Chain A
Amino acid sequence: MASSVKYVLVIAALILTTVFSLKLGAVNASWADVRGVFDTDPDAVSRAILKLRWPRIVGAAVVGCYLAVAGLLFQILLRNPLADPTIFGVSSGAALAVVIAMNIVIALANITEGGASASYLPTQLVPPIAMGGALLASFAVVALAWKKGMQPLRLLLFGAVLAVVLNGAVMTLVLSLSEARTELAILWLAGSLYARDIADVLPGLWWGLGCFLAIGFYARSLSALRFDRDTAHALGVETKVAVPILLMAAAALAASAVAIAGPVGFVGLLVPHITRLVFGSSVRHMLIGSALFGALLVMLSDLVGRMIAPPLELPVGIVTSLIGAPFFAVLIRQSLRKVAL
């Protein structure tokens, strides 16, 4: 099958998922209401759909797209097929920042006697705080791993170590919160698109545009970086420039995704491998394909999470983990077999 046909199919699947995401959920809308969304003057039901479902569809697409592309970059740059944006300290850094912020707000509320309602962290503050934590943590990983340049293995190991430490701190802080707030924290930590507003998503779009421009500019370097270091150098790749820029772009994309939805696992790990199976190994196809499949996977997962037990919903991060974990096991088995050969 030609790649253009495959792209058409994936995009068709994206449109179909969008339509069903508008229709299905805690309240099943009629087709007429879904159609009403595109009217110039939608009625009350259509407006409600537009207000509640549209932001999370866009959010899901953006989160999936960013995580998948970040995962692809990490896998190539760290020379590890099992690398994932979460290993870079991105998720745990974001989580710790958000949980610390929750604690600070509670402490401040107790001092100023602002009442119980003031002790909740305003939702619109969560994305920038998460972003700050994510970026800080990835800088910490790079700083710890730095030894005459960036070394993939050191980055991986320090990323894993930092993630464990930060997650421990997160758990300690979550358990020190009161019951109602623990629930909120856990919902965020599971990676959820619940009650996302379009304003949570928009800043991430500019951020992402910048990253994608940088990635596009260095796409051919990225392709050549898949060779061993000597060969990449000999081909003319300026690794000292290309690798840090691409790593920063990947960390920024992952941070941006985590800022919107909290830590959504396995997307960055899973999608590049699916893309390689479908589109082959050309870097251009891998980048575009990962972006599309990432969006599709998270949109579908969010839809599934909303449909399983309405009116309750499963956080999207739980759904991707439920799909991702078995896939991860298969992947490890396969790579072990390759080593055994």
Chain B
Amino acid sequence: MIEAQNLSVAYEKRLILRDIDLRFEANSVTALVGPNGCGKSTLLRTLASLHKPQSGQVLLQDRPLHGLKRKTIAQKIAYMAQSPQAPEGLSVRQLVEHGAFARRRFFKRQDQEEVNDLLAACGLSQFAERPFAEMSGGEQQRAWIAMSLLQKASFLLLDEPTSSLDLGYQINILRLVEKLRKIQKFGVIMVLHDINQASHFADRIVALKDGIVLSEGPPDHVISSELIHTLYGADVTILRHPTSAGVTCVPNYGS
């Protein structure tokens, strides 16, 4: 379990998050939503110990995060940045193997079967030896996810995993994470831009605005036209999704 207690975070003395209290269970999927600059990415980075809180703390299984070694944190929390930078010249397999950094002993070689299984699960087997740089955006994103999963952490934190992809790959990536959760048990905390994707793929939504939590809970309870209006200033109609459980919202464009 990851717990934010009375968490305030600042960037260059500007307060980004104020008094956040949230708990994230190890086997749930949480989507952080909100307008640009609301602090959702900052919250995610603070939960991954990539940013120091100004006050309050983050607890990882009841232990304060700031006292832990990076290796210990990495064994529990995997984090995928919004646009991570890959070293030049690596193959997809070489990139993915870096995920085992925190788990590997000094003299032990990488267990290739583990990597192969993961590459297969992410649909990357046929690209394994190809240069990472030559892959398409969607394939690269799958490789990043494979790398994060090789950490075998109990939480996967994703910062806008779909932001630079076309609609096909967006769904593809989110379904992949959903599928992998059934193979490897882990909780997900992700920043998503698309409220409809959040509604479908998350069992809990946390809506942030101006550094505070406006609303949180199951998508059906949280998503309302009032909330969307407060968050984004957009006028929408909430509908039952025609083919799956859950709600979806469509913009009212006016006439």
Contact = CB atoms under 8 A, between A and B. Distances in A.
B101 A236 contact: yes
Nearest to A240: B70
Contact of B85 (A220, A224, A227, A234): A227
A224 B87 CA distance: 9
Output the residue of A224, A235, A282 with the most chain B CB within 10 A: A235
Chain A interface: which size bin? 20 to 34
Contact of A230 (B74, B84, B102, B148): B84
Interface string B70-84: 110111011111001
Contact of A234 (B78, B86, B106): B78
B79 A230 contact: yes
A230 B81 contact: yes
A230 B69 CA distance: 15
Contact of B98 (A227, A230, A238): A227
B87 A236 contact: no
A237 B69 CA distance: 9
Contacts of A227: 84-87, 98
Nearest to A235: B101
Nearest to B78: A234
Interface in B88-117: 88-90, 94, 98-99, 101-102, 104, 106
Given A234-B48, A235-B151, A237-B70, A276 B89 contact: yes
B201 to A, nearest CB: 22
Contacts of A233: 48-50, 70
B94 A282 contact: yes
A228 B102 CA distance: 17
A234 B69 contact: no
B73 A231 contact: no
A238 B101 contact: no
Interface string A144-179: 000000000000000000000000000000000000
A40 B79 CA distance: 63
Contacts of B48: 233-234
Given A234-B50, A235-B98, A228 B69 contact: no
A80 interface: no
Interface string A40-62: 00000000000000000000000
Given A224-B98, A234-B81, 9 more contacts: A220-B101, A220-B104, A231-B84, A233-B48, A233-B70, A235-B151, A236-B70, A236-B74, A236-B102
